[in-house]
Chains A and B, each alone.
Chain A
Amino acid sequence: MNEKISLSEGSGGKEMQELIKKFREIFPIKKWKNEMDDAASLQFNGKLLFTTDSYVVTPVFFAGGNIGKIAFCGTVNDLAVMGAKPLGISLSIVLEEGFPKKDLFKIIDTIAGLSKKTGIPIITGDTKVMEKGSIDKIIINTSGIGKAEKILDEKISNGDRIIVSGGIGEHAATLLAERFNMKSKLKTDSKPLWNEINAVKKYIKQAKDITRGGLAAVLNELAEKNKKQFFIEEEKIPIKKEVRSLAEILGIDFYPFACEGRFVCICNKRNSKKVLKKLKKFNPLAREIGKVKRGNGVIVQTRFGKRILSWPSGKIVPRIC
């Protein structure tokens, strides 16, 4: 292990995965269950799920949202993809001295608006202020508890279908465009996913929200966890033209592009059409992108040959969520 923390250990790729693995080895988990999942669960007449995440983002405000939106949605979504209805969220804010009050209340209003709209309350919180220069503007931590009758962790089989809930990479592309002073019509895809998951949870076996590390990380995580090969048809991946062009201009792959309101789910072949029909009501770009096979890793069939889709590694794109 390196002696000092590097940026790549926070970029959602292999290095971060390894760091988290080391944390897991240190903390006793006991009756709670958590196997590379987004939230831990505890059996209690139904299941109680608990998750936490910290949020840093540059810029703090961007097209379609701000750090508050991704902090709320991120935790809601980690619960949702496990099949859990979010019951309550905690909100901790660490501010840099001198942070504009106006901006702080804009962020608070965003969170409050989402809380009202989704009916998911903010139930506890904390605020700290640190000396100027000791942190970058604002850090938010949210934790959440949720309740599920059945956790989405059914065993997957060869021939199962892999579905993505909408166009990928819009959040990353929005932030990149702003950072490089490019004008675009892009907006963050950040949104709470509970309604979408709730609509399809009967028909799907597993789900995972696409965040840092993008589709590349999610597909590799799911393939590794399930000890299966994921076979993806590149031409079927839904991606807006603007996102694709931005990736091309900057010379980077779109696969590791972060989303904040998209998920990948797996269902059997028979249910695929039903799931897609329901998901398309929320996002017309929902697509089946591939299937589960015997083997390991993620294979992409391009419109030419085949290749491996590897874990995102290093600091691929500037830190964005």
Chain B
Amino acid sequence: MNELIKKIHSVAKSLGRVKLMEVCGGHTNTVMKYGLKEILPENVKLVSGPGCPVCVTSQKDIDAVVEMALNGIKIATYGDMLRVPGTKKSLADARSEGADIQVVYSVDEIKEKDRVFFGIGFETTTPMTARLLEKGFTVFSAHKTMPNAMKSLAQKMKIDGFIDPGHVSTITGSKMWEEINLGVPQVIAGFTPEAVTRAILLLLEMIKRGEKRVKNDYREVVLPNGNIVAKRLINKTMKPIDAEWRGMGIIPNSGLTPRKEELDARIKYADLIKNIKSIENPACKCNEVIRGLIEPKECPLFGRKCTPENPQGACMVSETEGACAIAFKYGGKK
């Protein structure tokens, strides 16, 4: 192990300032859990990307589902979504006021056809939602796809290299990353601390050599064409749309919505949700954290008003993927 760190330091010596982005929240977790930032050379900066599904879900979507729930529509969703603050209320607030919200680990737990599934996540969790749609359940989809969001970040943020999301890549396949051509080196990596450290080394080596390739360093699960069955299922039941991301606005072709309008909760309950006014808490810096512009600790609310017990913003919710919650958990309040 120390060998990898030594090599990183030796390669970094011949480089100027380098900004790398770990896109996936799972990677952020590994970085913080193993204190990787503190053992990296000073000129190598690792910033967290938008790869936390809870975090990038727009305020509007949260507000819409809260409104539906308060109007008696039965909802099912993943546990973390409950605590994400909306403009006025979170889903947890709605539930304590009597709304019927089922928390699921797996979509197979949803049995009633009149229960709307609030689906979130990237390519990794989308196949489960697709399966639900195939069975004729109604979905409020806040599903996102990574490639166009990363394109937008690569251009605006001057990222020198990406650690590509490992689990997303198991579905999309490694070829997809070559095709979208972000113009900087990328490494598809697993989630052990060794894997993340090696990805950093590989990126630095590519930067040094001026290469802009995609290297698949997670071959044990990522195939060139990915998971064909899952992709086919998604394609059959869902279609690409322009999606709103927290912090990044509307990104063309970066979301997925049900193909069948009768299964699309956004259409089915349009009357309920069309007049919602969403206002983001101006003190919360989630928008900047998601884009890697600031570290969680630079937000004035971090660790003071905003804690995992009482999150003020989406990034403080998921302890395994949210940049702020992870920073709080492994780095303390200050």
Contact = CB atoms under 8 A, between A and B. Distances in A.
Interface of A: 4, 8, 14-15, 180, 251-253, 297, 302-308, 310, 313-316
Nearest to A304: B34
Nearest to A303: B1
Contacts of A180: 105
Contact of A302 (B33, B37, B83, B319): B33
B193 A310 contact: no
Contacts of A307: 32-35, 330-331
B35 A314 contact: no
Given A15-B309, A305-B36, A305-B39, A310 B96 contact: no
A313 B311 CA distance: 12
Contacts of A253: 33
Interface string B25-45: 010000011111111000000
B9 interface: no
Most chain A CB atoms below 10 A, which of B35, B96, B307, B320: B35
Contacts, number: 57
B328 interface: yes
B284 to A, nearest CB: 19
B141 interface: no
B331 A314 contact: no
The DSSP consensus for interface residues of chain B is: helix
Contact of B319 (A303, A305, A306, A314): A314
A304 B8 CA distance: 13
Q: How large is the interface on B (under 10, 10 to 19, 20 to 34, 35 or more residues)?
A: 20 to 34
Contacts of B308: 313-314
Nearest to A252: B320
Interface string B138-172: 00000000000000000000000000000000000
Given A251-B320, A313-B308, A297 B332 contact: yes
Nearest to A305: B35
Contact of B193 (A302, A306, A308): A302
Contacts of A14: 309
Interface in B3-40: 5, 26, 32-39
Interface of B: 1, 5, 26, 32-39, 79, 83, 96, 105, 193, 197, 307-309, 319-320, 328-332
Nearest to B39: A305
A11 B38 CA distance: 32
B12 to A, nearest CB: 16
B38 to A, nearest CB: 5
The DSSP consensus for interface residues of chain A is: loop
Contact of A316 (B319, B330, B331): B319
Given A4-B96, A314-B309, A305 B320 contact: no
6 contacts: A302-B33, A304-B1, A306-B35, A306-B38, A308-B331, A313-B329
Nearest to B307: A313
Contacts of B33: 253, 302, 307
Contacts of A8: 309
B309 A302 contact: no
A302 B35 CA distance: 8
B315 to A, nearest CB: 15
A314 B26 CA distance: 19
A310 B309 CA distance: 13
Contacts of A315: 79
Nearest to B332: A308
A313 B33 CA distance: 16
A306 to B, nearest CB: 5
A304 B330 contact: no
Given A252-B320, A302-B193, A310 B332 contact: yes
Contacts of A252: 320
B193 A313 contact: no
A315 B332 CA distance: 19
Contacts of B320: 251-252
Contact of B330 (A251, A310, A313, A314): A310
A303 B26 CA distance: 18
Nearest to B35: A305
Nearest to A179: B105
A307 to B, nearest CB: 4
Contacts of B96: 4
Most chain B CB atoms below 10 A, which of A15, A297, A313, A315: A313
A64 to B, nearest CB: 24
